[in-house]
Amino acid sequence: MKWLPIRAGLAALAMSGAVLAAEGSTAKKDVLSIAARVADWQLAHMDGEYIITHMAHEAREPRSWQQGAFWVGMTHFADIAKEPRFARAIQDMGRRNEWTPGSRVTHADDHVIAQGYLWAARHGAGPQAIAPVRATFDKILANPPVVHLSFYFAKNYDEVQCLERWCWCDAVFMSPPAWLDLANQTRKDQYRDYAMAEFWAATDFLYDPAEKLYFRDSRFFERRDDQGRKLFWSRGNGWVFSGIANMLEFLPADHADRTRLERLFKEMAGRLKELQKPDGYWAPSLLGPENSPAETSGTGFYVHGLAWGIRQGLLDAATYRPAVDKGWAAMTRAVAKDGRLGWVQQVSDRPESVNEADSQFYGTGAFLLAASAVARLP
């Protein structure tokens, strides 16, 4: 794996233990302060004009997965920040979108925006906020996809047949939490049953028990980097790890799948802790850290999951808190003075290069998820 070189100043900063310690404060007020700055910057730039890379046109769609992931982070942050403007922004977004998910009924990417609507319904928007989501999921239940999970590329990405199910690891973040939240709000077990069955089907297919990581999709089962190592994409596994934490938030404590899901979460956590770099980041290609750039989207999702796991008692604080603090310090170093988050790998399905100026909605979402979980730690 070949990376763009890290700027000398960033490399020096990353390797400086003294600076890292100085920036490693996780005092709640400091966490919330910088997170508010990041959230405010993003809210002021929802037109996405700063995004000029691949899929920029899609990122600017208000129901896109890129923006949807940002709003997931906003829901978590609004809960702890207690600043009315953040809750109001989520409610306003839902009303502008008329509470509708994306147009592709079965595609997980078009479900993630619904997590914002479901939050809004729990915070005063009422049942109308979830009605379109429920109608979409009812269509799926009435005619569940039966395609195989193997990823066969077509001329048009959206024509890949397996995308009707959760055949790529990103889907774990995008769709299952919405199904579980909807099951709780409607008290209809069929939504939860479908989500858990599809989640385990995806996990049985994509999870590598030897490495304790997820392949992005079946195209990567046999791919290797230039040193013969398996390709495990950081943000891809971040989608999964953060997504599992969000699933556990909505899965009843006595549910039959909870023990297995917690075991999977802890297994991944242990592996991810091993793979964190000395500078606090995780490399875009998890098994290829040498000369890798800073990357904040995968790192943000990992910090979120690890901090959440500590607070829930699933992860030992003495073991995992140093990784959280180091990861959070790395995240804060990527925030510009105006609140823009940099070093976000752009839209892709694999490890690629990253530049300091790269930013994206989902990177901000990961930052806010991380901040929300870190701020809740003692």
Both tokens of 129, joined, read 């906020």
Long-range Cβ contacts of 11-15 (<8 Å, 24+ apart): 13/333, 14/278, 14/279, 14/280, 14/281, 14/294, 14/330, 14/333, 15/278, 15/279
Long-range Cβ contacts of 275-279 (<8 Å, 24+ apart): 276/302, 276/323, 276/326, 276/327, 278/14, 278/15, 279/14, 279/15, 279/20, 279/330
Per the DSSP assignment, residues forming a β-bridge with 214 are 207
Q: What gap in Å lies between CA 232 and CA 71, rounded to an integer?
A: 26
Mapped onto helix, strand or coil, the DSSP state of residue 194 is helix
Phi-psi region of 295 (alpha: psi -120 to 50; beta: other; left: phi over 0): beta
Mapped onto helix, strand or coil, the DSSP state of residue 209 is coil
Please tell me which residue in 110, 170, 279, 358 is annotated as part of the active site. 170
**Pairing of the two strands 207-208 and 213-214:** antiparallel
Per the DSSP assignment, residues forming a β-bridge with 207 are 214
* Helix pair angle (65-81, 28-43), 10° resolution: 140
Residue 170 annotated as catalytic = yes
- In degrees and rounded to multiples of 5, residue 191 shows phi and psi of -70, -45
Q: What gap in Å lies between CA 23 and CA 31, rounded to an integer?
A: 11
Q: What stretch of H or E contains 213? A: strand 213-214
Q: What are the catalytic residues?
A: 170
